[in-house]
């Protein structure tokens, strides 16, 4: 469009003018096939990546739709080479297909002889392929299904997996949906997400924190009608899943097992923690055998963006099982998004955060970055610190304490979470604020007791470490104050904002503060953390600490 908000460049970058009247519409149009890279105040930079294009292909978008989106919003003529590149890249998905042949079993099929010859000559792929059994058909051992998909995507030929799935051991379960304002009902987008997953057989559902990903998981289990293994981040999350399952489904307590550091129960619906799966005994991952103890019909990976490497390796052997990944963001700081695509499955469904906010399913949020000026002594300590410790020095500056105290006083009627990375900093804040502290060392029983008191309003504030980054259900929390984080982790920022996004009974907005030390790498990492949320339409207001302190 003449004067459109988008500048499309031949290096695959897209520049979006966010103050343009069509910026939001444009953002929604390019989100399926472009990834946000930088998000300063006025122009956001996106990049069109092969993985983004393949996810778009798997979700049913074609190259013509992607090109049309660029044509509709581009301010200038589109680079021809980029348009050809989009078409060529998207055409790679599905040129190789995994199928169950009625005679030969699992095969890799391609109608492009040159592509098949190319991958057969690859040294990493050749050992995973068997003999040719027909025109464009090569045998594949079922045990190599996952590893083959991993190897193919690395060389730029992502396979479409149509080989199907085993049903698993049958186990009946239904959702307890009830009519009326107080009854539980699956929301329209949750139902669409579960249906999109089931149609694909495996894959990832991306929904904001607080949007009810657990309900999507339960809807998928109800569709499977089979024994299910649910993998979660920690014991608190496991017990929250159990509570939700008992409240919203026909399951009885004896149907649900917990496989964690505390218990080792195998039941028709088993909830296991990632921690216990990756714990070693005499150098071996002995608990990985849980994957083979039942004929699972479905495996649910909660917070799939945190999936540990050993579980990836185990998942490569589980490709005949239906696999559902749940997450608020597909961003992985270790760069293993391609492994999620190949082993768990493509992105099957997502909803922009702001769309759900408009519909009232998540709370509106105001994000504020408060910049603190270090004292002369703190600044010198930072300047003289080695690079590997300078971030900690900046993040834990004592100057932040007074700012946090002032922010807390601004919200006397709210339930507040103070979140950070460094335990000595959190211990000091808990002392100054007179608030309970929850860290990884806090026993599960005490954690649950404090979370319950917080939910009831008996405790108005908690100081928490990164254990509260994910899968903690604190629906009435409306203020989060972040004092330090895991360097520039975008997914951590999204998870922390998500702790306060559940809609409030009185309709109040959520407030997310991040306290940052000016002119340090704390400020640089904060800018990187904010990139994902900027893609979702959130913007940060930057204020000086003096404005908070008065």
pLDDT tens column, 477-524: 899 999 988 765 777 777 888 788 887 777 788 899 999 999 998 888
Residue 382 lies in a domain: yes
User: What is the pLDDT averaged over residues 220-224?
Assistant: 97
Same-domain check for residues 306 and 433: no
* 106 lies in the same domain as 81: no
Show the domain range for 44: 6-92
Q: Is the pLDDT of residue 397 over 70?
A: yes
Q: Which residue has the tokens 């963001």?
A: 329
- Is residue 38's pLDDT more than 90? no
DSSP symbol at 467: G
| Region 207-212 average pLDDT | 85
436 token code pair: 């309970």
What is the CA 260 to chain-centroid distance, rounded? 22
Give ∠ CA 177-178-182 in degrees, rounded to 5.
Answer: 120
Q: Is the pTM of this model over 0.75?
A: yes
The pLDDT, as a whole number, for residue 358 is 82
Position with higher pLDDT, 306 vs 25:
25
Let me know whether 279 and 388 are in one domain. Answer: no
User: Is the same domain home to 213 and 323?
Assistant: yes
Same domain (yes/no): 436, 404 = yes
What per-residue confidence (pLDDT) applies to 67?
95
**Distances, alpha carbon 90 to alpha carbons 65, 114, 163, 319, in Å:** 11, 18, 21, 24
Whether the per-residue pLDDT at 333 is higher than 70: the answer is no
- Which tokens hold the place of 444? 């599960």
Average pLDDT, the chain: 89
**Structure token pair of residue 449:** 């007791």
- Beta pairing, strands 43-47 & 13-17: antiparallel
Hey, is 196 helix, strand or coil? helix
Q: Are residues 85 and 133 in the same domain?
A: no
Q: What is the mean pLDDT of residues 307-315?
A: 85
CATH number at residue 347: 3.40.50.300
Q: Domain end: 64, 92, 120, which one?
A: 92
Give the span between the Cα atoms of 329 and 348, in whole angstroms. 13
Query: Do 200 and 278 lie in a common domain?
Result: yes
Residue 1 falls within a domain, yes or no? no
Question: Would 36 be classed as within a structural domain?
Answer: yes
Longest dimension (CA), the chain: 78
> Which of 29-33, 314-318, 465-469 is the least confident region?
465-469
Q: Examine the domain organization and report whether 123 and 252 are in the same domain.
A: no
- Encode pLDDT of 170-194 as tens digits: 999 999 998 766 678 999 999 999 9
The arithmetic mean of pLDDT across residues 319-333, rounded, is 86
In a domain, 173, yes or no: no
pLDDT of residue 287: 87
pLDDT at residue number 139 = 96
Q: What does the pLDDT look like over 121-151, one tens digit per residue?
A: 999 999 999 999 989 999 999 999 999 999 9
Which of 368, 313, 367, 305 minimizes the C-alpha distance to 333? 305
Structural domain contains residue 470: yes
Collapsed DSSP state (helix, strand, coil) of residue 398: coil
Q: Which of 92, 117, 138 is the last residue of a domain?
A: 92
Strand, coil or helix: 170: strand
Helix (H) / strand (E) containing 421: none
Q: pLDDT digits over 40-51, tens only?
A: 668 888 899 999
Q: How far apart are CA 123 and CA 136, in angstroms?
A: 20
With pLDDT > 90 as the criterion, what percentage of the chain qualifies? 60
At residue 236, the pLDDT reads 83
Task: Yes or no: say if 133 and 139 are a contact pair by the CB < 8 Å rule.
Answer: yes
User: How many residues are listed for the chain in this entry?
Assistant: 550
| 471 — pLDDT class (breaks 50, 70, 90) | low
The b/e string for 183-222 (b: 16+ C-beta within 10 A; e otherwise) is eeebeebbeebbebbbebbbbbbbbbbbbbbbbbbbbbbb
Residue appearing with tokens 């930079």: 45
Find out whether 529 and 423 touch, Cβ atoms under 8 Å: no
pLDDT tens, position by position, 48-72: 999 999 999 998 899 999 999 999 9
Q: Is the pLDDT of residue 354 over 80?
A: no
Ramachandran region of residue 26, left (φ > 0), alpha (ψ -120 to 50) or beta? alpha
Q: Is residue 333 part of a domain?
A: yes
The pLDDT score that the predictor gives to residue 309 is 83
CA 208 vs CA 212, 354, 357, 390, 452: distances in Å? 8, 9, 10, 33, 23
Burial group, residue 487, by CB count within 10 angstroms (0-12, 13-18, 19+):
middle
Sheet holding 477-482, edge to edge: 437-438, 461-464, 415-419, 477-482, 510-517, 365-372, 540-544
Contact of 420 with 482, CB cutoff 8 Å: yes
> Across the strands, what pairs with 161?
98
Say if residue 341 is in the same domain as residue 237.
yes
Q: Is the same domain home to 121 and 193?
A: no
> CA-CA distance, 58 to 341, in Å (whole number)?
10
Cα separation, 190 vs 203, whole angstroms:
15
- Residue 14: inside a domain, yes or no? yes
Average pLDDT over residues 338-353: 88
Q: What is the CA radius of gyration of the chain?
A: 24
**DSSP 8-state class, residue 79:** P
Instruction: Please give the average per-residue pLDDT across 70-99, as a whole number.
Output: 95
Q: What is the pLDDT of residue 27?
A: 87
My answer on whether 214 and 146 are in the same domain is no
Burial environment of residue 550 by CB neighbours within 10 A (0 to 12, 13 to 18, 19 or more): exposed
Q: Are residues 110 and 87 in the same domain?
A: no
Position 41 scores a pLDDT of: 65
Angstrom distance (rounded) from CA 95 to CA 160: 8
- Specify if 181 maps to a domain: no
- Structural domains counted in the chain: 4
What is the rounded CA–CA span in Å between residue 162 and residue 168?
Answer: 18
**Residues 461, 432 contacting (CB under 8 angstroms):** no
Residue that finishes a domain, picked among 92, 113, 130: 92
198 is written with which tokens? 């089931």
Q: Are 97 and 61 in contact (CB under 8 A)?
A: no
């Amino acid at each position: 469009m003449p004067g459109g908000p988008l500048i499309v460049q031949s290096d695959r970058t897209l520049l979006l003018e966010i103050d343009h009247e069509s910026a939001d519409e444009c953002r929604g149009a390019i989100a399926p096939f472009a990834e946000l890279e930088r998000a300063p105040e006025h122009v956001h930079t996106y990049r069109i990546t092969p993985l983004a294009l393949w996810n778009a292909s798997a979700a049913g978008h074609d190259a013509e739709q992607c090109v049309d989106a660029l044509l509709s919003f581009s301010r200038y003529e589109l680079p021809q080479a980029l348009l050809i590149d989009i078409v060529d890249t998207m055409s790679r998905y599905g040129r190789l297909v995994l199928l169950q042949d009625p005679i030969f079993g699992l095969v890799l099929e391609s109608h492009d002889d040159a592509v098949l010859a190319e991958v057969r000559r690859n040294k990493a792929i050749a050992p995973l392929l068997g003999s040719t059994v027909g025109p464009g058909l090569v045998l594949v051992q079922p045990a190599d299904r996952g590893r083959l998909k991993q190897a193919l995507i690395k060389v730029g030929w992502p396979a479409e997996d149509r080989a199907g799935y085993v049903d698993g051991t049958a186990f009946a379960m239904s959702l307890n949906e009830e009519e009326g304002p107080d009854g539980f009902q699956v929301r329209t987008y949750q139902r669409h997400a579960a249906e999109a997953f089931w149609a694909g057989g495996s894959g990832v559902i991306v929904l904001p924190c607080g949007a009810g990903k657990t309900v999507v998981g339960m809807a998928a289990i109800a569709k499977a009608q089979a024994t299910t293994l649910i993998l979660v981040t920690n014991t608190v999350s496991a017990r929250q899943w159990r509570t939700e399952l008992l409240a919203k489904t026909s399951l009885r307590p004896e149907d649900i097992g917990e496989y964690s550091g505390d218990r080792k129960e195998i039941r028709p619906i088993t909830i296991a923690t990632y921690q216990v799966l990756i714990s070693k005994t005499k150098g071996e991952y002995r608990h990985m055998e849980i994957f083979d103890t039942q004929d699972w019909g479905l495996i649910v990976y909660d917070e799939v963006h945190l999936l540990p490497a050993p579980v990836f390796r185990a998942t490569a052997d589980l490709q005949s099982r239906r696999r559902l990944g749940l997450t608020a963001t597909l961003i992985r700081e270790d760069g293993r998004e391609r492994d999620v695509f190949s082993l768990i499955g493509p992105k099957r469904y997502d909803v922009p955060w702001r769309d759900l906010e408009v519909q009232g399913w998540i709370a509106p949020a105001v994000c504020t970055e408060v910049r603190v000026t270090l004292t002369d002594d703190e600044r010198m300590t930072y300047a003289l610190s080695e690079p590997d410790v300078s971030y900690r020095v900046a993040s834990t500056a004592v100057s932040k304490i007074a700012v946090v105290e002032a922010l807390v006083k601004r919200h006397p009627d709210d339930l507040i979470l103070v979140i950070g990375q460094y335990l000595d900093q959190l211990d000091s804040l808990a002392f100054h604020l007179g608030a309970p502290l929850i860290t990884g060392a806090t026993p599960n029983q005490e954690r649950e007791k404090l979370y319950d008191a917080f939910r009831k309003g008996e405790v108005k504030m908690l100081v928490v470490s990164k254990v509260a980054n994910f899968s903690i259900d604190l629906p009435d929390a409306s203020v989060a104050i972040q004092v330090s984080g895991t360097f520039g982790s975008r997914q951590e920022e999204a998870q922390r904002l998500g702790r306060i996004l559940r809609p409030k009974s009185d309709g109040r907005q959520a407030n997310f503060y991040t306290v940052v030390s000016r002119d340090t790498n704390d400020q640089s990492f904060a800018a990187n953390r904010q990139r994902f949320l900027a893609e979702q339409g959130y913007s940060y207001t930057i204020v000086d600490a003096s404005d908070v302190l008065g």
